[in-house]
Each structure stands twice: as structure tokens, then as C-alpha cells.
Amino acid sequence: MNRRKVLELIELGEGLHIEFKQRFSSHEKIAKSIIAFANTRGGYLLLGIDDDKSIYGIESEKSDSELIRETAEKYCEPQVNCTIYSYEIENKEVMVIEIPESKLKPHRIQDYRSILDLNSAVVYVRVNDKSVLASKEMIKLMQTQQSGKSLVNYTVGKNEKIVFDFLNKNEKISVKELSKIANISDRRASRTLIQLVRANLLFIHIKDNGESYFTFAG
């Protein structure tokens, strides 16, 4: 990271890998952004920059650095490793937090539970230029992907064939749609679609509101 790189990030503007914050607002809001980047493909959080790229600067490098470290360590579960840089831009101090894609995903807002509870865990992912709540399907998929293994010799059954028939006529399918047309529970529909993603037969997509839908892979 260097000053030139920071200027390039500012010029690029907010997107999948870049987010601006005018100031440190609260631990929870900063944790949301850090977690979203760690759960997706990594990125940069810039403090002292407004959404329109205006340079406001930060008040105290030491204070904000401590707040960022505290957020990453105590408000994210598991804690997120990030690197903090500070540069002078237009005679103002700008802080850059570099968050790599994590190998410990899914990260969630600290809830002091020993294991992740799908019904209560607050997990964020990055979608375009927003940090949005992850669907249960996305959380489950992150959990299974940590093994680094895809499904092999996957048997295609009745429900899978229903998925394929539906996608031959439609661009995408959701858990609710599969549940309805196959007359199965949402839980079973969710499991079926996740298994097809793990078998590299489907892709999972996330809408801006955090809902998931699935399409054919490739």
C-alpha cells in the first residue's frame, strides 16, 4: 500500500472491494463492513472519505486505529485480521483498512455464542457497493466451502430434476419456488440447492436485499 494506491482507490469510488466512511461512526457499523469484505473477496475500507469522494480526513490516527483494531478483534466472530494504513491526502489524514478474504468465513457480528446459530447469527456479505445480510443458504455454503471440497459422484434425484426442468424454462430459481413446485419444506429445498452448488452444477447469487437465487453454472 502506498499513497498512489490510495489515490487510485478514491478515484475508483465505492464498489465490491471499496467502501468510504466519513468517520468512525460505531463499532457495529464498522464491523458490518469488515465482516462483509472478509466473507466475500476482501477489500478496502477508507475512513475520512465521503460517498462523493470528498476528503474530510480523520481526527486522530491513534484513536481511530485503536477503535478499528478493537472492532476487528472484539465485535467480529471469529475476529478478522486486517492491516491499517494512514496517509496524508490534501493535507488531511486518511485511514485505509485492508481486509483480505478470510479463510475462516463465515464471520458474524459478535454474539458470544460458542457456535454459529443460523437463526440468529448476523452475517454480512458484499454485494456490488453494499454490505448486506447473508441468506441462510449463503451462510451454509460458506460453512461447507471451508473444507475446500466439492461434491463428487453426486446423485441426481427427483428434486434435482425438478430444479433442472424449472431452470430450462426460467433464468433462476429460489428456495421458495423449489419448495412450492416440488411440494417440499423450505429446509429441504435449501439443502437441495446448496448441494447442487457444491457439486458445481448451480451458482448462488445474492440480491441487494440479501436474498439468494440460483442459476445454472457456466
CATH code: domain of residue 97: 3.30.950.30
Tell me the CATH number at 205: 1.10.10.10
Q: Are residues 98 and 193 in the same domain?
A: no
Q: What does DSSP say about strands 83-89 and 92-99: parallel, antiparallel, or unpaired?
A: antiparallel
Q: Are residues 41 and 111 in the same domain?
A: yes
Q: Are residues 48 and 95 in the same domain?
A: yes
Q: Are residues 164 and 94 in the same domain?
A: no
pLDDT at site 148: 66
pLDDT at site 211: 86
pLDDT at site 4: 93
Backbone angles phi, psi at 190, to 5 degrees: -60, -45
**Spatial distance between the Cα atoms of 114 and 107, rounded to a whole number of angstroms:** 13
Backbone angles phi, psi at 208, to 5 degrees: -60, -25
Contact 125, 208 (CB under 8 A): no
Q: What are the grid coordinates assigned to 114, written together? A: 460458542
Q: Are residues 49 and 154 in the same domain?
A: no
Contact 207, 170 (CB under 8 A): no
Q: Are residues 102 and 19 in the same domain?
A: yes
Evaluate the omega torsion of the peptide bond into residue 78 and state whether it is cis, within 30 degrees of 0.
yes
Our count of domains for the chain comes to 2
pLDDT at site 26: 93
pLDDT at site 42: 97
Residue 163 domain flag: yes
Below-50 pLDDT ranges, the chain: none
Contact 15, 129 (CB under 8 A): yes
For the entire predicted model, the pTM comes to 0.85
Residue 209 domain flag: yes
Q: How many CB atoms lie within 10 A of CB 182?
A: 18
Residue 137 domain flag: no
Over residues 50-107, the pLDDT tens digits come to: 999 999 999 899 999 999 999 999 999 999 999 999 999 999 999 999 999 999 999 9
**Cα angle value 50/133/6 (rounded, 5°):** 30
Residue 136 domain flag: no
Q: Are residues 80 and 188 in the same domain?
A: no
The single-letter DSSP state of residue 135 is: P
Given 106, 131, 156, the domain boundary residue is 131
Contact 7, 89 (CB under 8 A): yes
**Spatial distance between the Cα atoms of 65 and 86, rounded to a whole number of angstroms:** 9
Residue with cell 475476529: 79
Q: What are the grid coordinates assigned to 128, written together? A: 456490488
What's the full length of the chain, in residues?
218
Residue 155 domain flag: yes
CA distances from residue 12 to 2, 52, 126, 129, 167 in whole angstroms, order as listed: 16, 11, 17, 12, 36
Q: Which value, in Å, is the radius of gyration of the alpha carbons in the chain?
A: 20
Q: Are residues 151 and 120 in the same domain?
A: no
Q: 182 is in which domain, residue-wise? A: 142-216
Q: Are residues 198 and 168 in the same domain?
A: yes
